[in-house]
Amino acid sequence: MNKSDLVDLLAKEAGSTKKDAEQFLNIFMSSVVSHVARGEKITLVGFGTFETSERQARTGRNPKTGEPLEIPGKRVARFKVGKEFSEAVNKKSKK
């Protein structure tokens, strides 16, 4: 499913126009991105949690030469799946 498919589904389920559904989805996504980028955590109970975490600097290897190189640490976005989401996925995979 891509964004266009999701917009179609949202419009159908909400009984709204595709334009309204797309606007809602865009607002949702930009809100999540901006708040998480500021270091805030967004928890949607049962669905999951959007947050940031710090990735430590480490030593890696150049795959061509095998020489060691320093990989700098950075802040990354994370999504942790909620309990109901996880259980729904596990039920589907067992069928």
Q: What pLDDT shows up at residue 7?
A: 97
Task: Report the first-to-last Cα separation within the chain, whole angstroms.
Answer: 21
* Phi-psi region at 50: left, alpha or beta (left = phi > 0; alpha = psi -120 to 50): beta
What b/e sequence results for 65-91 when a residue is b if at least 16 CB atoms lie within 10 Å of its CB, and e otherwise?
eeeeeeeeeeeeeeeeebeeeeeeeee
pLDDT, residue 94, reads: 62
- The mean per-residue pLDDT over the stretch 60-74 comes to 95
Query: Looking at residues 2-27, what average pLDDT do you find?
Result: 97
Average pLDDT over residues 21-43: 97
Q: Tell me the pTM.
A: 0.78
CB atoms within 10 A of CB 36: 19
Sign of CA dihedral 51, 57, 61, 62: positive
Domains and CATH numbers, the chain: 3-94 (4.10.520.10)
Of all residues in the chain, the percent with pLDDT exceeding 70 is 96
